[in-house]
Amino acid sequence: MTTNTEPGTSTRPRLRDIPPPAHRRPADRTGTRDLRLFSRLGQVALLVWAVVVIVPIVWTFLASFKNTTEIFSSPWTLPAHLRWANWGRAWTTAHVGRYFLNSVLVVGLGTAGTMLLGSMAAYVLARYRFWGNRIIYYLFVSGLAFPVFLALVPLFFVVKNLGLLNSYTGLILVYIAYSLPFTVFFLAAFFKTLPSSVAEAAMIDGCSHTRLFFRIMLPMARPGMVSVAIFNIIGQWAQYLLPVVLIAGAPDKWVLTQGIASINTNAGYAADWAGLFAAISLAILPMIIVYAIFQRQIQAGLTAGAVK
């Protein structure tokens, strides 16, 4: 076989004309197949997780509109008709309305204090270099590995000695203290991704450190702030151990989790199951609404620091 070549040109094949080695093709196909397999397994796992989470919530909402007979005789069927009286009875007779307002007050102030103190601490630890910076940061982060129940007894005596037992102030301060480790850990990583050129330009223009933080850096960190705030709201709203220990002696100051547990405990065998499920629905519904409203902000905050 002859090859037509022009004078002065090489007969050696060019690199781009050489086909890839045959032994690489099956490996590529195998890698693609494995990637698709893991993707399918991930989708199946997410589907199972969604069912595990959604089915109990939907069942609770349906049970809140039934009577006790329907709940036990036909638990998986739709209610015969919507009994809104169950919700009204839970709100007034079971004092869920008062517990709900108490939770709003405690969680609102607790989250505000957590975000203010946590953002300032995270900003200093992330943007300033000084002796002991890493030590303070790791002390904050170590709080993530400390179980709450291990500190309940000493925490009780500390709050009691401060004269804050059975008070909103004591509970709010403890909420802030237990929420700071995660807040500092998350926001410190987020503040590191913010451009230094903006801060340097502001300092050259005569901006103070305080004004730089509140007027420039904090608005730039809004996606991360919103994400952490939502996580803190959900975590503090569902807190049960700390209120039981710190405000057990003041029933008028109980939060929603305490109130619902008390309804179930005190009722005994004559429990108003429909009212109980209505109270649980009242506790779940605000968090679902908050997450549905701020879902995009949460996703943006979690991915904003991925690419500089």
Q: Which residues of the chain have pLDDT under 70?
A: 1-31, 264-271, 297-308
Q: With respect to residue 4, please indicate whether it lies within any of the assigned structural domains.
A: no
pLDDT of res. 2:
46
CATH number for the domain harbouring residue 151: 1.10.3720.10
The stretches of the chain forming alpha helices (DSSP H) are 24-63, 68-73, 85-92, 96-127, 133-142, 152-161, 168-192, 196-204, 209-211, 218-220, 222-237, 241-246, 256-267, 273-293, 295-303
Instruction: Find the domain containing 51 and state its range.
Output: 22-63
- Claim to verify: residue 49 and residue 170 sit in the same structural domain: no
- Claim to verify: residue 195 and residue 261 sit in the same structural domain: yes
Nearest to 247, CA basis, from 162, 165, 169: 165
Count of domains forming the chain: 2
State the amino acid at position 258 in one-letter form.
Q
pLDDT of res. 227:
86
* Distance of alpha carbon 7 from alpha carbon 46, whole angstroms: 65
pLDDT of res. 118:
94
pLDDT of res. 123:
93
pLDDT of res. 308:
45
pLDDT of res. 1:
45
Choosing from 63, 80, 113, the residue where a domain stops is 63
Number of CB atoms found within 10 A of residue 84's CB:
11
- Claim to verify: residue 181 and residue 227 sit in the same structural domain: yes
Q: What is the pTM of this model?
A: 0.79
Residues 95-123 as b or e (16 or more Cβ within 10 Å = b) = bbebbbebbeebbebbbebbbebbbbbbb
